Amino acid sequence: MLPLTRVLAVAGLALSVPLAAQSPVDSALAGYIAGIRAIDNHAHPLLPTLPGAPADTDYDALPLGAIPPFPLPRGLSADDPQWIPAWRALYDYGFADMDAAHVKTLLDAKARLARAQGVHAAEWALDQMGTEVMLANRVAMGPGLAPPRFRWVPFVDPLMYPLNTAAEAAGTPDTRSLYPRESRLLRRYLRDIGVPALPATLDAYLARVLVPTLERAKREGAVAVKFEVAYLRPLDFGDPPAAAARAVYARYVRGGTPTHAEYRTLEDYLFRTIAREAGRLGLPVHIHCTDLAGGFYRIAGSTPLQLEGVLNDSTLRGTRFVLLHGGWPFVHQTLALLTKPNVYADISMMSAYLSAHTLADVLREWLEEMPDRVLYGSDAFAEHNEDPVGWADVGWVASLKARRALGIALTAMMRDHDITRERAQEIAVMVMRGNAVALYGLGGGIAGNR
């Protein structure tokens, strides 16, 4: 197997041949970027496959497999040829196609590797990606996903849905299965903190459920919290008075189903409360923000500017927000929001399915204005370790592509005399790890390089 640093350096040198209408990558800069051990801001790693262990069902609160099938971008399709180089590098795959018999040898190789690595399989995968630390967006962690290499980002959407969600769930074929998952997860959270039933008042719910759940996550190692709420509703959160939210909660906590307008009042109030409490605890708030999350997903409702009212809330300026997936394809909206003092964006998922050149165009625009707010991320995910395209494969491709894109963008900036080579190297480290170290306070807990 070729080390990723070697693969990246070779890839960077190959890109030094000019392509039509594209900037080449400076070979020395490509080598420098290849040597940066990354901090991956967003991924869904699976627990290693261990003898007798149950299937891992905690990798996502709202998995895409739970909703009706919908078309995926070409770069995320299981038959995309970009996976073949990953299989060669990770599992010594000896073929240039995806013939069923050849893929069977791949699955056998993955099984052998899982047995050989055991509980260390996920750490092995990080080493192949050139990743030092991965932020794991999961319901819960477990064996093989431990600090300092893996850091926990739990889901907080269920805290917005303490009441009956039947009317909300009826909206689309997607939401019919997703809202019940939120309700089940909230019941799990209640068990975890030893609360047998929902309190009678909203103030008691905040004091006995919402705040203790966030504090428990912090105690158990969470470095941020995650909202997937765009799967369920638009991101245009209002700012209702507390009295209105209290009235809705009191009216339905012991039964009945709120109207859509009533639930929106409660959701909006709870969203801001969760974000405010996360800020108090020093936990950045991650928000799913892109066009991809199901065949009935409301794309207009997930555009970054929907969040401007929240980001302008003076009581939330102590909370740092991260726009996951960079708001793709609405990346100019994201750039506008990066001018706010508590907003960041990562390139997760974009790094997996966009071309390096398309991603480089996005990066150059962002890095020209706000290089200290841009984070590397992979969105490495899979539903089973036995899948032909596993989370480690997605992470490997994303790392390779992100480093290529960063090299293209920074080379163009160097050759346009916008930055020096030294500044290009500095920005590369910022994007791949330095900004995350500062945002999550990781300085004392990781080995570090550069």
CATH number at residue 143: 3.20.20.140
The mean pLDDT value for 339-354 works out to: 97
More confident residue, 2 or 210: 210
**pLDDT tens by residue, 80-121:** 999 999 999 999 999 999 999 999 999 999 999 999 999 999
User: Range of 223's domain?
Assistant: 38-77+117-385+431-440
SS3 string, the chain, reads CCCHHHHHHHHHHHCCCCCCCCCCCCHHHHHHHHCCCEEEEEECCCCCCCCCCCCCCCCCCCCHHHCCCCCCCHHHCCCCCCHHHHHHHHHCCCCCCCCHHHHHHHHHHHHHHHHHHHHHHHHHHHHHHCEEEEEEECCCCECCECCCCEEEECECHHHHCCCCCHHHHCCCCCHHHHHHHHHHHHHHHHHHCCCCCCCCCHHHHHHHHHHHHHHHHHHCCECCEEECHHHCCCCCCCCCCHHHHHHHHHHHCCCCCCCHHHHHHHHHHHHHHHHHHHHHCCCCEEEECCCCCCCCCCHHHHCHHHHHHHHCCHHHCCCCEEEEHHHCCCHHHHHHHCCCCCEEEECCCHHHHCCHHHHHHHHHHHHHHCHHHEECCCCCCCCCCCCCCCHHHHHHHHHHHHHHHHHHHHHHHHHCCCCCHHHHHHHHHHHHHHHHHHHHCCCCCCCCCC
Q: Judge whether residue 439 has pLDDT over 60.
A: yes
Confidence (pLDDT) at 14: 43
Q: Judging by DSSP bridges, how do beta strands 225-227 and 150-153 pair with one another? A: unpaired
Confidence (pLDDT) at 51: 87
Confidence (pLDDT) at 450: 59
Report the number of distinct structural domains present in the chain.
1
User: Is 175 a domain residue?
Assistant: yes
pTM, full prediction: 0.93
**pLDDT tens by residue, 278-334:** 999 999 999 999 998 899 999 999 999 999 999 999 999 999 999 999 999 999 999
CA dist 178 and 293 (Å) reads 11
How many C-beta atoms surround the C-beta of residue 441 within 10 A?
Answer: 12
**pLDDT tens by residue, 225-277:** 999 999 999 999 999 999 999 999 999 999 999 999 999 999 999 999 999 99
Q: Judge whether residue 9 has pLDDT over 90.
A: no
Confidence (pLDDT) at 118: 96
User: Is 277 a domain residue?
Assistant: yes
Confidence (pLDDT) at 107: 96
User: Is 375 a domain residue?
Assistant: yes
**pLDDT tens by residue, 36-51:** 999 999 999 999 999 8
Q: Judge whether residue 6 has pLDDT over 90.
A: no
Q: Judge whether residue 20 has pLDDT over 70.
A: no
**pLDDT tens by residue, 116-138:** 999 999 999 999 999 999 999 99
The phi, psi pair for 103, rounded to 5°, reads -65, -30
**pLDDT tens by residue, 168-197:** 999 999 999 999 999 999 999 999 999 999
Confidence (pLDDT) at 4: 56
- For residue 142, the cross-strand partners are 145
Confidence (pLDDT) at 53: 87
Q: Judging by DSSP bridges, how do beta strands 321-324 and 150-153 pair with one another? A: unpaired
Confidence (pLDDT) at 443: 79
CA dist 225 and 220 (Å) reads 12
User: Is 448 a domain residue?
Assistant: no
Q: Judge whether residue 199 has pLDDT over 70.
A: yes
User: Is 111 a domain residue?
Assistant: no
Nearest alpha carbon to residue 51 among 118, 124, 134: 118
User: Is 147 a domain residue?
Assistant: yes
Confidence (pLDDT) at 43: 98
- What proportion of the chain, given as a percentage, has pLDDT over 90? 87
Q: What angle do CA 227, 54, 51 make, to 5 degrees?
A: 130
The mean pLDDT value for 377-400 works out to: 95
User: Is 102 a domain residue?
Assistant: no
**pLDDT tens by residue, 360-375:** 999 999 999 999 999 9
- In whole numbers, what is the pLDDT of the chain averaged over residues? 93
User: Is 357 a domain residue?
Assistant: yes
- What proportion of the chain, given as a percentage, has pLDDT over 70? 93
Sign of CA dihedral 180, 185, 189, 191: positive
